[in-house]
Amino acid sequence: MRSANPEAPSRIELTVPANEDYLAMVRVVTGRAAGLAGFSFNGTDDLCLAVAEAATLLIATDPATLDVSLVVESDAIDGEVAITDPSRTWPPSGLEEDMRWQILDAVFDESWTLTDGRMGIGWRQPSR
């Protein structure tokens, strides 16, 4: 459903169990958000891949849930995948060398780790 004001950003929140079985759901929601932001087919596919890789990085810390937040604008998406109570340290040492992080770095124009009381990955991606 589109907003009454197409210029107003829409916020999408999704919480799923931190299990790879739910990555398809995260990808579908991300794909729909990319469509609303005017992403091309290839841009949508790249975004879905990167968000799934971010979620996979966080699942490795063995949290109970993943919280996905997407702010959809007419020409970009700001997003976060966050966790609470991981059983392993975040961010892990050597994160920059991890292939999953390198995928994020290649796809997202901007990405960063969340360490301000929340643990996770944030990004901003203009539509392409």
Q: How many domains does the chain have?
A: 1
- Residue pair 81/120 in contact (Cβ under 8 Å)? The answer is yes
pLDDT value at residue 4: 45
pLDDT value at residue 7: 63
Closest CA to 54 of 89, 18, 10: 18
Per residue in 62-77, pLDDT tens?
Answer: 999 999 999 999 899 9
CA-based R_g, the chain, Å: 14
Which domain CATH number covers 46? 3.30.565.10
Q: Whole-angstrom distance between the N-terminal and C-terminal Cα of the chain? A: 22
**Any domain includes 3:** no
| Bond before 91 cis per omega within 30 degrees | yes
**Any domain includes 2:** no
